[in-house]
Amino acid sequence: MRTLRDIDQLRSTLQEYRQRGQRIALVPTMGNLHAGHLALVACARQHADIVVASLFVNPMQFGPGEDLDGYPRTFSADQTQLTEAGCDVLFAPAASSLYPDGLETHTRVHVPVAGEGLCGGSRPGHFDGVSTVVSMLFNLVQPDVACFGEKDYQQLAVIRKLVADLHMPIEIIGVPIVRADDGLALSSRNGYLSAEERSTAPLLFGTLCTLRDALERGDSIESTLQQGKNALYDAGFVPDYLELRDASLGPVNKTTRQAVLLAAAKLGPARLIDNLSVQLPSGDAATAGH
């Protein structure tokens, strides 16, 4: 695996692959890699000849008081994991390379609708930071395909809209959530959890499963979501949001069948997110009480 930090070197390296007619896949990451990231690399390998992973803790997507300075940085271990996973190129630029004049005057990419509410509501400017850095990476790498995890469901929706609206010739692939044996969605921020909090954390997924079963039976959406919030509070979580949206993140209505439960909650110092697909029943039960 080649590790590159310079933009010009990245471009010249990828141009060589392109001239040989090789298909390129991109896996954007912020490092501190786990099995979920490696699943993205494996998916990318299935869809391309050359796999490029980026490793960049993007300051633009962190708000005031968030964990930019404390975000875990494990570069050597990440290099080793990517090499063993069969990654071909690791692009790990410095912030000064992508933002040479700083953040304040840097062009920003805003994706409306998809980035509003949910994480976009509780983390103002977050998705502008995501869409800006992903646009830069797409421009620098010019991949044929890019892989993103479905755990960050709203982020995936933002990226899909970004690519569609700007007519980028990039196939976006969502990769299913990778979970620990007890159901907890893998996340770099799980490392913030104490041993006691780690034993509690799987209750987020467990609660979503209980709510899914109730909603698929036709129980009231409003009361079911309230029960879920109460259960999370009782378990020690501080819910940020717990919502049911249609699969495109629009509001649920009486015709909605494919829906998604989305949750974000603080547990100690960690902000955990998760989601689960829901097949709503037909008839008035689909929106009863909502």
Is 126 marked active-site? no
3-class secondary-structure state, position 33: coil
Nearest alpha-carbon partner for 41 in 92, 84, 104, 93: 84
Helix (H) or strand (E) holding 81: helix 75-85
Residue 262: HSE in the Cβ half-sphere, 13 Å Cα cutoff: 25
- Give the torsion through C-alpha atoms of 33, 99, 128, 141, to 10 deg: -60
The answer to whether 165 and 111 have CB atoms below 8 angstroms apart is yes
Q: How far is it, in rounded angstroms, from Cα 125 to Cα 64?
A: 10
Closest by CA to 231, choosing from 220, 217, 242, is: 242
CA distance 78 to 223: 44
| Catalytic residue, candidates 34, 37, 110, 167 | 37
Using the CB atoms, write b or e for 180-216: b if 16+ within 10 Å: eeebbbbbbbbebbeeebbebbbbbbebbeebbebbe
289: left (phi over 0), alpha (psi -120 to 50) or beta: left
Active site residue ranges:
37
